[in-house]
Every structure is written in C-alpha cells, then in structure tokens.
Structure 1
Amino acid sequence: MNLLFVCTENKLRSPTAEAVFSKIKGVEAMSAGTNSDACTPLSGDLIEWADVVLVMEKFHKTVVSKKYKALLKGKRLVCLDVPDNYTYMQPELVTLLKSKVSRYIRF
C-alpha cells in the first residue's frame, strides 16, 4: 500500500509520518508539502503513486482536492487533523500519527 502524507512545508509532520510508516511491512510511504517552496512539493506524480493521501489539516484537503481532483478518482483522501505544533519525530507526534492513521488504514 502506498501512503502519501501531506503538510505545508514538508519539514516536520509529514516527514515524521513517512519515517514512521515506511517501517511497516507492505507499506511504502512518501511525504510532500502543499507550498511551492516545500522540501518536497506536492505533485501530480505523487498523487498518482499514492493509494491513500493523508493530509494533516482541513485546508490541506481543500488544496489537494481542488488542484488534483481528476487524479484523486478512486483514491482515499483523509484529513488526520494534526496541528502544526510538533517537531520532527517528537514522541507525542509519533503517537498521535499512529493513533490517527490506524483509524483509516489496517496494518
């Protein structure tokens, strides 16, 4: 299963999710940001690659839905509601991501 995690800058939340979920057998994880200056900017190729797109906040879902509507057909687009107040690999963030993602994805 290919999971794409999306936040704004692709510096903290989505790279943490990529690192955590890449370790799970049978899962490929990547991350991107909605801003054009993100570490890895979101692209149509990444949307096409993903089976599930998991965004951190509602406004990310809006951006992704509008910009990539045609590419999202047949894919799940999930908002995790993870606020931007964590550091990379912060234990509380890792715990929160595991809890939130497990509601949508079975491992």
Structure 2
Amino acid sequence: MTRPLRVVFICTQNKLRSPTAEAIFRSLDGWEVTSAGTNRDAETPVSRDLLEWADVAVCMEKRHRDVLRQQFSGALPDDRIVTLGIPDDYEFMDGTLVELLERLVPTRLDAVAPREAV
C-alpha cells in the first residue's frame, strides 16, 4: 500500500489562503495535508520539520517560495516547491479562491509529484 502524498500549503499568516487549501484537500483520498505561514506570528509557522515531513510544499506566492529556499535550504528539494501565484486578496473559503485552488493545485502537483511515484 502506498502512503498518502504529504502536502503542506504555505501562505503568510496561515489564516486565509493556506487554511482554505487545507480544508478543500483534507478529505481527498491519497493526500495528507496541512498548512503553515511564513511569518513568525503565523497561526502555524512553517518549520524545517514540517518541510521535511512534506513531499510537496504549495506556496501561494513567489515570496513564500523564496522564504522556504532562504530560511529552510535543503529541507525540501526546489523541484518539490510549487508556486500558485494567488495574491492575498481573499477571505477564508472565498468562492473564487476555492475555484482557483481546485483548478491549480491538482495540475501543479501532478507535474511535480505523480501519485504513483510517491
């Protein structure tokens, strides 16, 4: 039996975008998900342990990816860090945000971590 794909969703404060993504994909078969923020005062701050646990980090913006690369170099290979390009313009579970995540996340993750390869 193959273990679930471990995905951590990353935004700044871990209050709106990444928790929305976690809520959407939490019940998806074959995925184990969590979320974190790049700021020190985030609801759940990102950590080296969390990145080492993950198969893939899904960042909402390029600046989140840059923080992971700078502060947690080597915790997760660069080719396992995905950037969605979703700005901080949405509330938790905003309908447009949900649509964006449902459209972008599966496509980006299939390109990085095919389920049968994990």
TM-score, with structure 2 as normaliser: 0.86
Q: CA deviation at 1:92?
A: 0.9
* Structure 2 contact 7–57 (Cα < 8 Å) conserved: yes
The RMSD of aligned alpha carbons is 1.4
* Percent identical: 48
Distance across 2 between alignment mates of 1:99 and 1:4? 17
TM-score, with structure 1 as normaliser: 0.94
Structure 2, unmatched stretches of 5+, are: none
Structure 1, unmatched stretches of 5+, are: none
The list of structure 1 runs, each at least 4 consecutive aligned residues, that deviate by more than 6 angstroms after superposition, is: none
Match for residue 47 of structure 1 among 43, 47, 51:
51
Q: Does 1:81 align with 2:98?
A: no
* Structure 1 contact 47–72 (Cα < 8 Å) conserved: yes
Secondary structure, in 3 states, of the residue corresponding to 2:108?
coil
Distance across 2 between alignment mates of 1:85 and 1:28? 26
Residues 44-76 of structure 1: CA deviation (Å, up to 9, x unaligned): 111011000000001111111111111113761
Kindly tell me the number of residue pairs found equivalent between the two proteins: 107
Q: Where do residues 1-107 of structure 1 align in structure 2 (5 Å cutoff)? A: 1-73=5-77, 76-106=80-110
Q: Hey, which of these two has a bigger chunk of helix by percent?
A: 2
Distance across 2 between alignment mates of 1:66 and 1:33? 15
